[in-house]
Amino acid sequence: MKRQTIVVPETAAGRVDRLVADVSGLSRSYVQKLISEGHVTAAGSAVKSSDTVIPGWVLELVVPDPIPLELEPEPIPLSVVYEDDDMLIVDKAAGLVVHPAAGHWSGTLVNALLARDTEYGGIAGVQRPGIVHRLDRDTSGLLMVAKNDKAQASLMAQLKARSIKKTYLGLALGAVAATTGRIEAPIGRDPNHRTRMAVVPDGRESVTGYRVRERLGAWTLLELDLVTGRTHQIRVHLAAIGHPLAGDPIYGNGTSRRGPEGNARLFLHSWRIELQSPTDGHVIRATAPLPPELESVLGALRAQHDGLPGLAPGLGSEPENPVQERDR
């Protein structure tokens, strides 16, 4: 159990739950839970989340010890590319489900993380890794994981502010005309297929930047900047402009679903990520090379189209910022 004394500054205003969340580094939803359970008091009396703070108030915050997560640890191999006391970045394999859910209570990334010799300080009162964003089951690559509430709150705030730079590599069908571009199209539930997403007029703002990395005949290797983070965003956007990803069984057409040389795996990889450390604010940069099965696809295409200009993934100069302009 941890106790924290919070003296409300003279300039403070607004709700109690917001002030406690800002000072403690806990998520606002968790603070609201603690308040509802009587763990935040002023002069010995419980406060309400909606109470207005009073300058000079002395608040006492009690954070109970985190309870164990009722989930079985499993020794699933993991590739960790970065780790410190507050977070880690893993290179997720394709086919690995990130979070337990109906039909997938075992064999997930969370099961694998629990099996590591890692100290999780508690996320919203539970001893568990904090999953702040997700990758589709068949997408490989970099994924951030928080070890405690403070780190989770920092990463979530950076995601909300769009200050985390996430770049993917994807193999798209066809010759993408513009060398660099920006896709701006709202995404929401497909009204005709509720299990799919689609570009729809009343969808949420969605922005994807791209750069052509390599032209390979009937296919184009792209660097893709995920400016927003909607479900299936890259897959939906590329399909919407007529260049679906190779191996995409949901948003592709017959040719793209089969992929080059009959490759059936979704060719989408979370390749590079840049963020500020939740601990001290220094810049963290991580990259994950394409897995062998995707490299072999490119190798076969290069052999067929020998002599075409282009850079192999992971080589050459890298642009400093995500694309900020429309197709040009």
How is 175-243 classified by DSSP, letter by letter?
A: --SSSEEEEE--EEEETTEEEEEEE-TTSB--EEEEEEEEEETTEEEEEEEESS--TTHHHHHHHHTT-
Is 136 an active-site residue? Answer: yes
Which candidate in 136, 149, 225, 248 is catalytic?
Answer: 136
CA-CA distance, 286 to 102, in Å (whole number)?
A: 32
Buried residues in 176-213 as b, exposed as e (16+ CB within 10 A): beeebbbbebbbbebeeeeeebbbeeebeebbbbbbbb
- Supply the angle between the helices 28-36 and 16-24 in degrees, to the nearest 10: 120
Active-site residue list: 136
